[in-house]
Chain A
């Protein structure tokens, strides 16, 4: 391999999403995050002798919704398998998962194809006491089974991702989609969304898949991007120096940016999958499909597309609104008020959103009707942009009617009447040196005069009108 060969990364992603059901995948224990350890447990999720699993119908429902959202083929019949391995966070010594007959097959989100979506149960949460933070070398480990048995959807992509940046952007699209579907909290910090990446490289132009490594459990999108970068660089380095990439499972340490091996292919588990004999096959009825379909909302990519193509929003503005369901909903309720221009509405919903931090505008004091009215005042030039922002600040703080605020505060724009002409005259008189520069043709010097006028009119003057009057009064 010569140094001048260009390599491209070939990346597939495996995403685990905790489903937002009330109870666990195979028992009636409630889901919780942050509760005291080992209180949401029962014989089933503790794997006590004699206990048996029962499938959570709601988890199947949410799984079908995910499949519908990414355009999967939904299996009329699917079955659970046992994935056998020993670990203290796995109370039965096997995970109930799906193998060759998953709930959803195929599909696509954005430009990445989906291989499959299947359901399984989450493991318990292990905390390793001691220096290493890993099980080997720890003084002791403690297990919290509250998380054990939480329903998971595992979404596996085809190896269609070609860069770390694309991985991050696509994962964000997936997260936004799942959040709007309402199937998961998709919170990486709380572990309700976790991601592994399968990474290989190949010379640009090659269509074969080469030996891949699996980068495990990166817990933020930023780390995923950095982890993939680091791994791709490592693989290119290996190949350029004449070596061969070994199939292994890797860990990325975001503090040191180092990649370490968790286990090699030879050490890989033989999971001894076989059909779970404690469960009967899942058959998907027309009623189940109808119920799932009825709950799938318009999804962000489709919505952004509609905003851009039919409402004339820029792609960025359309995506910004569509990616947050609550902004999109608010935006659409503003549009429902008579004759609001969509681009202006989008701008002002964005303005409002910026003032609310992460909050939902529907829960704020600003009524959609009030925002529509504010936009109307601005477009009819009854107020200027500065005044409109002031009104919005007031609406956010206190609510109310924009027109009443404009009148009470005297924020109405000063048009072409004597009041503004007088203010301009006063400003010119107060800044003779500036007036001189303007007469000499330097219009850029006008700032202090406009500032003077704005101060005198409490910002109600229209900047364009002030400029016109200055030119007029200076005889230009």
Chain B
């Protein structure tokens, strides 16, 4: 059973070869036995999934859910000490929607605290390990979801992506991760990091699974004012060729420092395959992409500094110093409850929004954001999709970059521009470099998920990436 993709498992359940209950228990036991620290909560033994209709499209294939999503009565800690043991009274819209579509909650997956990080080392519940090499990070912040899917302890999982947090761990773990168009998936019940950038999405073993899961995630939600109805239903991809598809390649951005030769090699080989499949490669420029990282590291911390203000010890979660007066309660609770990276970003964000600095930082960053969106608009006038590596490196060693946040931030180089522009992008595994997976990122205009999934599917077939052997 565990060799089956989620789609294959759903089909097997539909045929009656395996029952949904069997599938749930098999994966429940695997998740409970996980050695990667991919989970922060696993459904207890004897859990039966909520009843679903016989024609529920996802058939009962269980789902790993990033801990950033609220799940009623189930710990939802966002990787933070400040929410240790927090049991929300409600379930996130998208998790609810997927449960009703036949993907019951299997487990909550580990993550960087409040989704701030690229390595899962910022989790208050310990780092998740990469199943390809346990001395290495699985990427982040949806590292638990990526490791779980790659290791086959979950058939598929939900992640969230603010600046690359689905795509980068998918790349590091050799699986597929889709960051959808901003607004296409409800954020209601997803604990906010940076509201204007956060977007939930699937992490799956293959492109078909990503399409199947994403197709059930979309839809306008009356509880999320920024959600939008997707103009198309999501089809399962069938394309084998890329004839007539123009793929833009931002050559100048690929010359940046710090991109590993092995990553470039795998990327170039994949472009070669795309050409063989009939795609036309077009050199493009994204003139403002070089400022994306700077703009992101103003906007995201600014929003985070505000979003994280609610963790004050008054109503839920950690409370320290409650007997020593209001100010003591605030400072002790937040000092003890937040990790270093979260504190760093709250400080940066608070500064960026301060009176007298707003225009120079937040205001300017928003201007850059508009320019980047304009760059993409111009580029997508000439090409159908844009290709880059997902990340400049393969999975690095635990502890290798913790002392150097800037080098950690540089890992988001290729993913952040799409986040700032609100555009969809997928990461698919495109080969190995020194035995570690390399991710290939394909991005498109808003709501072009069908186009992206189709092209990714054609490439996936041609690449024939060997996934990690599931034991």
Co-complex (A, B): yes
Residue of A nearest to B366 (CB): A275
> Which B residues from 352 to 395 make CB contacts under 8 A with A?
353-355, 358, 362
Given contacts A91-B314, A94-B309, contact A50 B191 (CB under 8 A): yes
Tell me if B306 and A52 are in contact (CB < 8 A).
no
A272 to B303, CA, bound (A): 11
Residue of B nearest to A279 (CB): B225
A5 within 8 A of B: no
A280 to B196, CA, bound (A): 11
Tell me if B310 and A92 are in contact (CB < 8 A).
yes
> Which A residues from 254 to 269 make CB contacts under 8 A with B?
none
A135 within 8 A of B: yes
A329 within 8 A of B: no
Tell me if A82 and B306 are in contact (CB < 8 A).
yes
Tell me if A51 and B188 are in contact (CB < 8 A).
yes
B412 within 8 A of A: no
Tell me if A88 and B314 are in contact (CB < 8 A).
yes
A278 to B70, CA, bound (A): 17
> Which A residues from 33 to 68 make CB contacts under 8 A with B?
43, 46-55
Q: Which residues of B contact A43 (CB under 8 A)?
A: 88-90
B192 within 8 A of A: yes
Tell me if A93 and B225 are in contact (CB < 8 A).
no
B316 within 8 A of A: yes
Residue of B nearest to A85 (CB): B309
Given contacts A91-B314, A277-B196, A278-B226, contact A49 B306 (CB under 8 A): no
Given contacts A48-B89, A91-B310, A272-B306, contact A277 B362 (CB under 8 A): no
> Which B residues from 265 to 310 make CB contacts under 8 A with A?
302-303, 305-306, 308-310
Tell me if A55 and B225 are in contact (CB < 8 A).
yes
Given contacts A49-B310, A93-B306, contact A272 B354 (CB under 8 A): yes
A270 within 8 A of B: yes
B449 within 8 A of A: no
B69 within 8 A of A: yes
Tell me if A50 and B188 are in contact (CB < 8 A).
yes
A43 to B91, CA, bound (A): 10
Tell me if B355 and A53 are in contact (CB < 8 A).
no
A278 to B198, CA, bound (A): 11
- From DSSP, what is the main secondary structure of chain A's interface residues? loop
Q: Which residues of B contact A48 (CB under 8 A)?
A: 70, 88-90, 315-316
Of A54, A84, A91, A270, the residue contacting B315 (CB under 8 A) is A91
B360 CB to nearest A CB, Å: 14
Tell me if B350 and A272 are in contact (CB < 8 A).
yes
A143 within 8 A of B: yes
> How would residues 263 to 304 of chain A score, 1 for a CB under 8 Å from any chain B CB and 0 otherwise?
000000010111001111000000000000000000000000
B189 within 8 A of A: yes
Tell me if B188 and A52 are in contact (CB < 8 A).
yes
> Which B residues from 179 to 211 make CB contacts under 8 A with A?
187-192, 194-196
Given contacts A43-B89, A91-B310, A277-B303, contact A50 B315 (CB under 8 A): no
A275 to B316, CA, bound (A): 26
B175 within 8 A of A: no
> How would residues 59 to 91 of chain B score, 1 for a CB under 8 Å from any chain A CB and 0 otherwise?
000000000011000001010000100101110
A279 to B183, CA, bound (A): 12
A402 CB to nearest B CB, Å: 58
B462 within 8 A of A: no
Given contacts A43-B89, A50-B190, A52-B225, contact A94 B306 (CB under 8 A): yes
Q: Which residues of B contact A86 (CB under 8 A)?
A: 309, 312, 330
A277 to B183, CA, bound (A): 12
- From DSSP, what is the main secondary structure of chain B's interface residues? loop
Q: Which residues of B contact A94 (CB under 8 A)?
A: 306, 309
A345 CB to nearest B CB, Å: 52
> Which B residues from 339 to 357 make CB contacts under 8 A with A?
350, 353-355
Tell me if B191 and A270 are in contact (CB < 8 A).
no
B291 CB to nearest A CB, Å: 20
B199 CB to nearest A CB, Å: 13
Tell me if B314 and A50 are in contact (CB < 8 A).
no
A54 to B186, CA, bound (A): 13
Q: Indicate the member of A43, A51, A52 with the most B CB atoms within 10 Å.
A: A52
A277 to B306, CA, bound (A): 11
Given contacts A93-B306, A272-B306, contact A49 B225 (CB under 8 A): no
> How would residues 207 to 248 of chain B score, 1 for a CB under 8 Å from any chain A CB and 0 otherwise?
000000000000000111110000000000000000000000
Q: Which residues of B contact A91 (CB under 8 A)?
A: 310, 314-315
B33 CB to nearest A CB, Å: 30
B92 within 8 A of A: yes
Tell me if A50 and B189 are in contact (CB < 8 A).
yes
B252 within 8 A of A: no
Tell me if B88 and A50 are in contact (CB < 8 A).
yes
A321 CB to nearest B CB, Å: 45
B21 within 8 A of A: no
B229 CB to nearest A CB, Å: 14
B468 within 8 A of A: no
Given contacts A47-B310, A49-B88, A52-B187, contact A274 B315 (CB under 8 A): no
A272 to B302, CA, bound (A): 9
B325 CB to nearest A CB, Å: 8
Q: Which residues of B contact A93 (CB under 8 A)?
A: 306, 308-310, 312
B1 within 8 A of A: no
A266 CB to nearest B CB, Å: 13
Residue of A nearest to B186 (CB): A52
B181 CB to nearest A CB, Å: 15
Given contacts A93-B310, A274-B358, A277-B196, contact A53 B225 (CB under 8 A): yes
A64 to B434, CA, bound (A): 65
Of B78, B195, B354, the residue contacting A49 (CB under 8 A) is B78
B326 within 8 A of A: yes
A53 to B196, CA, bound (A): 14
Residue of B nearest to A54 (CB): B225
Residue of B nearest to A87 (CB): B326
Residue of A nearest to B91 (CB): A50
Q: Which residues of B contact A52 (CB under 8 A)?
A: 187-188, 223-226
Q: Which residues of A contact B70 (CB under 8 A)?
A: 48-50
Tell me if A49 and B86 are in contact (CB < 8 A).
yes
Tell me if A272 and B353 are in contact (CB < 8 A).
yes
Tell me if B187 and A84 are in contact (CB < 8 A).
no
Residue of A nearest to B362 (CB): A274
A265 CB to nearest B CB, Å: 12
Of A54, A143, A273, the residue contacting B222 (CB under 8 A) is A54
B158 CB to nearest A CB, Å: 13
A46 to B78, CA, bound (A): 18
> Which B residues from 73 to 122 make CB contacts under 8 A with A?
76, 78, 83, 86, 88-90, 92
A8 to B296, CA, bound (A): 51
> How would residues 74 to 116 of chain A score, 1 for a CB under 8 Å from any chain B CB and 0 otherwise?
0000000010101010011110000000000000000000000
Given contacts A47-B315, A52-B223, A278-B226, contact A270 B355 (CB under 8 A): yes
Q: Which residues of A contact B86 (CB under 8 A)?
A: 49
A46 to B70, CA, bound (A): 15
Tell me if B353 and A280 are in contact (CB < 8 A).
no
Residue of A nearest to B303 (CB): A277
Given contacts A51-B188, A53-B225, A54-B225, contact A274 B78 (CB under 8 A): no
B373 CB to nearest A CB, Å: 15
A147 to B417, CA, bound (A): 41
Q: Indicate the member of A47, A272, A280 with the most B CB atoms within 10 Å.
A: A272
Top-7 shortest CB links A-B: A93-B309, A277-B195, A272-B353, A277-B196, A50-B189, A49-B191, A50-B70
Pairs across A and B, CB under 8 Å, 16 listed: A48-B88, A48-B90, A49-B86, A49-B311, A50-B88, A50-B189, A52-B223, A54-B223, A55-B225, A84-B353, A88-B326, A93-B312, A135-B326, A274-B303, A277-B303, A279-B225
Given A91-B315, A93-B306, A277-B303, list of 20 further CB < 8 A pairs?
A48-B70, A48-B88, A49-B86, A49-B310, A50-B76, A51-B188, A52-B225, A54-B222, A54-B224, A82-B306, A84-B306, A86-B309, A88-B326, A91-B314, A270-B354, A270-B355, A274-B303, A274-B362, A278-B192, A278-B195
